Amino acid sequence: MNINLELPSELEDQLYTEASRLKLPLTEYILRILSVRPFLENLPQTGAELVTYWENTGVINSRPDITDSQEYARELRCEAENRKRA
């Protein structure tokens, strides 16, 4: 579907700036904004609701290669503590 929309120049500039910062085409950025609208209208109110949302969107269990999350976190922390600073 194509929609022609006249935006105030200030809003257009803000959208374009944010899309550029994320290295996205303006149309893709606008689609992303519109796609999160249902979530923003019904934000999780409890930790359990947030976990359910993460499960439904695939965040939880998105890394089947990590079998021990605590060990993985320790490894990341160790790497961060021992990395060379520029």
pLDDT in tens, 17-26: 999 999 999 9
Provide the pLDDT for residue 22.
93
- The number of folded domains in the chain is 2
Asked if residue 83 is part of any domain, the answer here is yes
Instruction: Give the domain range for residue 62.
Output: 45-86
Residues 61 and 83 in one domain: yes
pTM above 0.75, yes or no: no
Cα separation, 16 vs 23, whole angstroms: 10
Asked if residue 23 is part of any domain, the answer here is yes
39: pLDDT strictly greater than 90: no
Provide the pLDDT for residue 86.
64
DSSP class per residue in 2-23: -------HHHHHHHHHHHHHTT
- The predicted-structure confidence for 2-17, as pLDDT tens digits, reads as follows 888 899 999 999 999 9
40: pLDDT strictly greater than 70: yes
Asked if residue 1 is part of any domain, the answer here is no
Signed CA dihedral, 49, 50, 56, 62: sign only: negative
